Amino acid sequence: MKYLLWLLKAAIFFTLFAFALNNQQDASVHFFFGTQWRAPMVLIVLSAFGLGLVVGVLGMVPRWWRHRSAARRAQAAAASAAPLPATEPPLPANAELPPHGI
């Protein structure tokens, strides 16, 4: 399995490397007010991909912060709450637990 994963990574790398070698022609990206950027096509595609990653991560940051603060509040509430007395007897070791899901 380890060698199969290594082989998959190598195949992806060589595919991207061949893409880069086949797209070395200059291309231009036209911006507003008559400005343009001339660069090899592979750099333009790589920049667009990187910019998309950055925008996606920045879009997720507020949600991550909310989840972290909610987890901290829940952890603090659980730590400050007194342990409840057990009202049900513990399950035997061979008892089947009910299924759970998302």
Tell me, yes or no, whether 1 lies in a domain: no
Distance CA 51, CA 43 (A): 12
Q: How far apart are CA 90 and CA 79, in angstroms?
A: 23
Domain for residue 63, yes or no?
yes
User: Is residue 84 situated within a structural domain?
Assistant: no
Domain count, the chain: 1
Give the model's pLDDT for residue 50.
92
47-69 tens-digit pLDDT: 888 999 999 999 999 999 999 99
Q: Considering the entire predicted model, what is its pTM?
A: 0.52
By percentage, how much of the chain surpasses pLDDT 70?
80
Look at residue 45 and tell me if it is in a domain: yes
Amino acid 8: pLDDT: 93
Per-residue confidence at 2, pLDDT binned at 50, 70, 90?
A: confident
pLDDT tens-digit readout, 39-50: 888 888 888 889
CA nearest to 44, candidates 32, 30, 34, 56: 30
User: Is residue 56, in this structure, part of any structural domain at all?
Assistant: yes
Q: Which domain holds residue 42?
A: 15-74
102 versus 27: the higher-pLDDT residue is: 27
Nearest to 46 by CA among 24, 66, 67, 14: 24
Sign of the Cα pseudo-torsion (78, 80, 81, 86, in order): positive
Classify residue 82: in a domain, yes or no: no
Domain for residue 87, yes or no? no
What region, left, alpha or beta, does residue 34 occupy, with left being phi > 0 and alpha being psi -120 to 50 degrees?
A: left
